[in-house]
Amino acid sequence: MKFATWNEKVKRLKSNTFLLLGSNVILALGLVFSVYSQLNTKPIIIVQPMITDKAVEIRASTLSRSYAISFATSMALLLGNITSDSMMFALESISQYVAPDYYAQFRKQLVSDMAKLKEKRMDMTFVSTKAYVDLQTGEVVVEGIASIIDAAGNRLNNGHQFRFLLDMRDYVPRIRAIQSLALAN
């Protein structure tokens, strides 16, 4: 009698053990699949422009008009509001979005311009007044008023324009070219 109940309990324990083993194998396979898929998945990092007045649409390799204008305005504000203390911050903030084939030229020109401002102890502020996409060239144009303040506190205001040629790669905007133009008053 005791042997029969003991044998029945052992059979139930064996079946429970096989059930637990089966569920553990399924969980282990799920874990392996999860780790594999995480290692092979590219993370998506979406750059949200500082300046946006409405919802922007993001695609992997194409810029929407509203996103391009918002991004270019953000970059123009970084480039246009330069003090001796913020020069390196602006340079490093913008450099990460510059296309590799344009990077050396961009950095050389920007460092040169910043050195001139620093040498003359000048600061520059920029207030954006208008931003649009030029349909003929495909450039994003950001217009505004630039104020250059010298060491004596004298202020020179004039119209200024930043022209950006942008593209999108893997959800990250890239700057292909920048022009900074002083406009006639």
Choose between 53 and 166: higher pLDDT: 166
- As given in the structure block, the two tokens for residue 135 are 């349909």
Predicted pLDDT of residue 75: 92
**pLDDT tens track for 31-52:** 999 988 887 776 555 666 666 6
**pLDDT tens track for 85-126:** 888 888 888 888 999 999 999 889 888 888 888 888 888 899
Is residue 48 within 8 Å of residue 171, measured between CB atoms?
Answer: no
Predicted pLDDT of residue 127: 92
Mean pLDDT of 134-139: 81
**pLDDT tens track for 16-32:** 999 999 999 999 999 99
User: What region does 121 belong to: left with phi over 0, alpha with psi -120 to 50, or beta?
Assistant: left
- Domain spans in the chain, listed from the N-terminal domain onward: 65-182
Q: Global pTM? A: 0.68
Top-level CATH class of 65-182?
Answer: alpha beta
Confidence of residue 151 (pLDDT cuts 50, 70, 90): confident
Which residue, 70, 79, 80, is CA-closest to 166? 70
Q: CA 95, 115, 125: angle at the middle one, nearest 5?
A: 75
